[in-house]
Amino acid sequence: MSRCFEIDLDHSEGALLRVLGTVERRGFALIEMSAEKPDAESYSVRLQVDGERDPQVLCRQLERLVDVRAVRLLPLPPEEPPPPGFKATWL
C-alpha cells in the first residue's frame, strides 16, 4: 500500500541517506520524493513509499534517527496518482 510521509531533518551530513536507507531496508519501495530547505539548519522531505508492512512502524523507525526532527504519516493519498519524477528543489 502506498503512503506519504513528511519528514523534517537536520541539515547534516548523511541525514537524507539515513532516511532513504531506512525506508528501503525496512521493506518499503520509494515511489516519489521531493525536498525543500526552509532554513540553513534543516530541510523537509516528502516521501511516497509503497510496502506491505505497517507504516506506523516505519514512522517510528524514522523518528529514532538522530537527524530526524519530526515525522508525519499523511492520510492515504487521493485516487489520482502523483506526477512521476524526482523533484529536489534544494539541490
Among residues 1, 57, 74, 88, the one that binds other proteins under rule CB under 8 A = 57
Q: How many CB atoms lie within 10 A of CB 53?
A: 11
Nearer to other proteins, 73 or 82 (CB): 73
Q: Output 57 or 74, the one with its CB closest to other proteins.
A: 57
Q: Is 72 in the site for other proteins (CB under 8 A)?
A: no
CB-wise, 53 or 87, nearer to other proteins?
Answer: 53
The CA–CA distances, whole Å, from 1 to 12, 24, 43, 62, 91 equal 31, 14, 26, 18, 29
